[in-house]
Structure 1
């Protein structure tokens, strides 16, 4: 009995004669410190830190230096306890389970003073049989062990050989041995986040009582039979049969809109039993597939599953089913060594454009559905179609993946291993196996997830010898690597999910790494797989420093968040770039210096003698630098999709590091903590546009490529304008004849030597002029207006101080900002402080006298509030 489909799980439903009774233990618990000196109420789901904060026993953990001040919280052993009454006659139920959807992390669990089990993995679901222990009135207790002390103990007990790294770099101010605990890895500190090793019950907890049998879960996957050209559904259901004899019945699966219904008899033997069903979708009905954002609709179909069993037991479940196929294409490329590396969705090659996702908060109970929607909608609004859920965080909550399904965001899903070697002892591996099996079962029904990846950067860490391993010890660590990611994780994934590819690591050489025994001598080979690339010293305006790789899954530059974001968690003495606070908040070695070095290559650094003004100007300039650097790099990758030069190119993915922030600090993010857009995010909305003209120079020749993500060819006109820094009127404007841009390609549209362009447009010079260009058809703009700087802006001649004014009006729920400038203004930045919302455009080059920009508030606000908060900055203000 088999069946295949695509969404999520469930627990038992209602029935004649009550199939199952459930008591949620969410809500208020008691929390006690290790020596009993501190006792307080706390919410479940939740953690000790947020409980202490809610009772005003600590300040905001993110305030100033509190990540260090509150280290004592994670070093203590806390206890959660609760008394509860069962609101039904417990004696009438054959089986009673206590279920934890998530415990963070190491505990001993007691019910009525009887130890019923232990937990040691944040990413597993735990179910304890408490039938013989539960009473009408109960006391439950979870005795937590400090994750920091537990990790140290586990590391110390691993005596045969070291498993590096022992500790994070000192600049990260973190805790040691995080690779020895199955917990959110970045909670021990990272180069963009604080160290807050939390303790608590972070997901749902409940008591379930049942007779006869119980549906533990169901999950499903759609399988496309290419030969028969038809869809099938594979459904897996798990039952716990407590009856002493077999249970008989039937199951009916229905998808009304697809006119598909199938009924099948089932027989359940006593014990844990898995029922697999195979349903053929009506071949006469056209199935609409799920498409990524920008490529089609996210069509789903309602499905119901009804189990009719003996004893009048009826269990009904419903889910939304999405149909899509995904293939990872690794095949020879004409005229190039190596292999391609790109994804096909429903048979269509798609360029993956987006970013990397990290946990949205150090305290998961603060990550609400509204916050997830805000952040994910911001990704879609910036024309992204992909997010990589990075392997040092958490497997995200169900709502995250539901939103990705709904919004058309493809998810590259890492397993939670990052930047470390890991022990491969039997106990550790067994825990990981249970973790992976559970997470794949929980998540595989989501169409948004297009690939599983075993870890973040661990193949590179091993083979590039990040940790100074002696060559004679390398086989031991390679064996551990293969044991964990190949013989265990890969084996489980491929058995449980046949609908999407598995990649052992990121970066990896893909098929080449496999051929080399699962680890490649050079995991950064540009002819295979994906690469990560960071270079903060070389000039980011020089596109030749970037790798012309098959796929780039990490790259980026840091910037500081806005002053309005920092102001909430700092004091006046902190408001300078060289303050103790600014150094403390920077967790990347020399990061603050590197930002100024990169900015100083092309911009004059702030000169104000007012410390606060200088700090705000420096924040602004780091955001300008970050946005321009990532723009240059991303546009290089997008135009490289159709090119193979000296064996390199055919680039089919650009995921910059990183989308979101975990706290208020300098980082690589384009969204600040809480969701405010940095300049980079506004730039991303342009450089990820479906149609984009990309300009660059090579050997004094200026080229413009047209990049298309569209599914059909289109006719366009390219307009190229030359502007002087000293005038609000363009020096000259040229329009090409009608050009054809090929679907899914990068097409050369324009080529001219720079000296000739400057001469024929009015004898301009590089330092005095800037080029802008856009695509149109029938007078309608088809692309963002892009630009190309002919010289560094610190060498620009003719730039005058721009006085920019704004008249604000309201149009429904949207606000209109009518801008007027006295001079050409580069990188115009509109800011309304802490008023939540985003502009239609920001950080732009203002070459005309007027411009209209819209503001979309995320919460109700008023024209007067906006007028009070509004500030505008351009590059000319800091010069």
Structure 2
């Protein structure tokens, strides 16, 4: 139990102001708020904004916030056992990727504010495009607390200089809390640049000033950024398929969603700085992502998170904070939730990066699949509660507060089909509708046929361990074993360590070194290789499925793997380690999310290559296919197929050949002795990453030799150039500079040429000597 207290002197005479408020932007979670031993209020919702009116005299005052645990709440620790009774960050009580650190206290700003007549509480703007008039407009909403007993009249002027738009409105504020909504039509003679997701255009914003001049001479001036963006969630019939589509159209253009899922960046939110957010989000954009899903078991992120996403073009699928649980619907709880939802929507709806509100994480699926062993006779009660919370309350508020973006009740969901079935469908994982979450740790992850040909993949993934340099900081020598108590303690996913070894064993030889530290480092390396290759296979499957329907399934228009970031140093599904270091998966993501990518797969002995493009125009390209022997740096044979048309924003088949015919043409090649690489090349420097296709498990590879890889390092302005030389083909070459912060231009690659140049982008000052001293080079043949 903690009591926060502060003795302060009010810097003004309270009696001269009509209203004085004590404002908490966030309290975690159950507390009693007092001034001079007078209770002003109680809190029970971490995500609410609490405002209490203060009545006090001049002189010193004592403010305190202390725990409050009434019978109604069952106490904070008990609520997890009986079901959520207060609103708190759920993952603070642990998840299968994080620790149990249930925080409490004042976690956001607290202040005293005083005013006469009126006060602006919320200010938001959303954009709309009127097709018939071919004109953009802004809806500006201002919510006031008017303490005057009489209406207050005034003028509001909106000025957007760059768009030659200036409009003045006469307004009248009524006593009490209320809003005024203004519609500003943008000057049609001005060219409006829309906000686009990363990879599809600029993230243009326009400086806007809104001036309120009211009676009695009071004036408020708000400076803000105006963005212009439309979003539609398209759910409509698809020719040749039962069900409905599920994709996003931004500014009228269908967009394939590429990205990951976001969890809280730390167990302790006060440690999450702007620099922390910038590093993680910029890393997402640098890996060619255009979207993140803010998961519903964490927190609504701070304003800076969404500001950065606006700036760099990361679209946000925003869950409300409900996940994997059954929630009450008593009146007290619903009032708290309604206040939470209203506050968060009003706070966030100005951000163009937010493209979707989602009611919860996996709660429709939880009821439909009966995760909580609800007796069949009681099932309708829980469905009724589900509809009451997410539809009749949360959805109702969202649709009232924000008409500029879509809402879905859950994820996964069948979307409109779930609505048709009463909001809880019989099978929320139906691939013909909505989005899906999919995890399979036992099947061979290189086998693309195990993955669902879904409309939208919003969760999927595999675990890996973070780098040794990351866990070394929080462990000691006796912990440096894959089976140590430390390893078991940090692994919060049941059988997670064994599942990783099982996946590794399908295609790689497990480490056998008698040196326990080397064995651990080799195992960590292989978990990262395995994770990267698994998610590469699954993501590429989703990308090449976007333009086709096979047996009624397909038209996949989104791939958000689980998960982007870590909350602490531990094995998890993340591609970014705690602190921001890129795992091999994140380097792979940079390639498998590339705007232009050739993707290969086998079906019944036939090799297919698809050309996948996010580009806005068709391109005639050359497909280069190279067959290498594991035993030589000289290619066995090369094919150049010219005049290949890759259509805009689609996936099209561009190559087909049986493996037997290919190997016969490339003499002295077998499945076990050779590997295929391929890329797309066009005019003007247009080129895809080089992709690879393994013809057998690498544990069965024949001719793979021990490679000797050397590196020279030099500085060029603010970056560092690593020139690598190898004596033999080297699979999954990993460069690691320990705790030096930064990222490489490429990593975990298949090195098929004698020389390769890699760039290192430092995030903090370093030097050639430090990089040379810290550098470790590892490839698959180094694992013993």
TM range (shorter): over 0.9
Shift of 1:778: 4.0
Q: Does 1:428 align with 2:337?
A: no
Unmatched 5+ stretches in structure 1: 1-76, 157-165, 168-175
Q: Does 1:373 align with 2:296?
A: no
Take 1:177 and 1:78, find their aligned partners in 2: how far apart are those partners? 24
Mapping 1:90-489, distance limit 5 Å: 90-130=14-54, 132-133=55-56, 135-145=58-68, 152-153=74-75, 176-177=81-82, 179-489=84-394
Shift of 1:779: 8.2
Take 1:454 and 1:419, find their aligned partners in 2: how far apart are those partners? 12
Shift of 1:802: 1.2
Take 2:576 and 2:450, find their aligned partners in 1: how far apart are those partners? 26
Shift of 1:146: 7.5
Contact 1:252 1:263 in 2 (8 A): yes
Q: Does 1:630 align with 2:535?
A: yes
Take 2:292 and 2:564, find their aligned partners in 1: how far apart are those partners? 8
Contact 1:804 1:872 in 2 (8 A): yes
Shift of 1:428: 0.8
User: Paired residue for 1:736?
Assistant: 641
TM-score in terms of structure 1 length:
0.88
CA deviations on 1:132-189 (whole Å, 9 max, x unpaired) are 2353321100012479x98644898xxxxxxxxx86xxxxxxxx45622201010011
Contact 2:42 2:68 in 1 (8 A): no
Take 1:747 and 1:126, find their aligned partners in 2: how far apart are those partners? 54
Match of 1:558, SS state, is coil
CA deviations on 1:350-395 (whole Å, 9 max, x unpaired) are 0000000000000000000001000000000000000000000000
CA deviations on 1:56-90 (whole Å, 9 max, x unpaired) are xxxxxxxxxxxxxxxxxxxxx11000011122333
TM-score in terms of structure 2 length:
0.98
Shift of 1:285: 1.6
CA deviations on 1:557-584 (whole Å, 9 max, x unpaired) are 0000000000111111110000011011
Q: 1:652 aligns with which of 545, 548, 557?
A: 557
Shift of 1:313: 0.8
Take 2:313 and 2:284, find their aligned partners in 1: how far apart are those partners? 11
- The answer to which of 601-610 and 305-314 deviates more is 305-314
Contact 2:30 2:69 in 1 (8 A): yes
Gap change, CA 1:521 and 1:779, over 3 Å in 2:
same
Gap change, CA 1:779 and 1:491, over 3 Å in 2:
closer
Gap change, CA 1:608 and 1:115, over 3 Å in 2:
same
Q: 1:832 aligns with which of 697, 716, 737?
A: 737
CA deviations on 1:837-875 (whole Å, 9 max, x unpaired) are 000000000011111101000000011111111101000
Q: 2:405 aligns with which of 500, 505, 516?
A: 500
Q: How many residues align?
A: 784
Q: Does 1:569 align with 2:453?
A: no
Take 2:753 and 2:153, find their aligned partners in 1: how far apart are those partners? 77
Gap change, CA 1:372 and 1:134, over 3 Å in 2:
farther
Take 1:671 and 1:593, find their aligned partners in 2: how far apart are those partners? 22
Take 1:196 and 1:768, find their aligned partners in 2: how far apart are those partners? 51
CA deviations on 1:265-310 (whole Å, 9 max, x unpaired) are 1222332232221222112222111000000110111111111112
User: Paired residue for 1:163?
Assistant: none
Contact 2:575 2:582 in 1 (8 A): yes
Take 1:646 and 1:179, find their aligned partners in 2: how far apart are those partners? 42
User: Paired residue for 2:725?
Assistant: 820
Contact 1:664 1:673 in 2 (8 A): yes
User: Paired residue for 1:86?
Assistant: 10
Take 2:173 and 2:73, find their aligned partners in 1: how far apart are those partners? 42
Q: 1:599 aligns with which of 483, 504, 521?
A: 504
Q: Which has the higher contact order (CA 8 A, sep 6+)?
A: 1
Q: 2:691 aligns with which of 773, 786, 793?
A: 786
Take 2:74 and 2:178, find their aligned partners in 1: how far apart are those partners? 39
User: Paired residue for 1:11?
Assistant: none
Take 2:101 and 2:260, find their aligned partners in 1: how far apart are those partners? 24
Q: Does 1:866 align with 2:771?
A: yes
Take 2:434 and 2:273, find their aligned partners in 1: how far apart are those partners? 35
CA deviations on 1:486-528 (whole Å, 9 max, x unpaired) are 0000000011111111010000000000000011000000000
Gap change, CA 1:774 and 1:151, over 3 Å in 2:
farther
Shift of 1:470: 0.8
Contact 2:69 2:75 in 1 (8 A): no
Take 1:455 and 1:781, find their aligned partners in 2: how far apart are those partners? 41
Contact 2:733 2:779 in 1 (8 A): yes
Take 2:203 and 2:427, find their aligned partners in 1: how far apart are those partners? 38
Match of 1:141, SS state, is strand
Q: 1:805 aligns with which of 672, 685, 710?
A: 710
Match of 2:261, SS state, is strand
Contact 2:83 2:326 in 1 (8 A): no
Match of 1:393, SS state, is coil
Take 1:765 and 1:252, find their aligned partners in 2: how far apart are those partners? 74
- The answer to which of 792-801 and 84-93 deviates more is 84-93
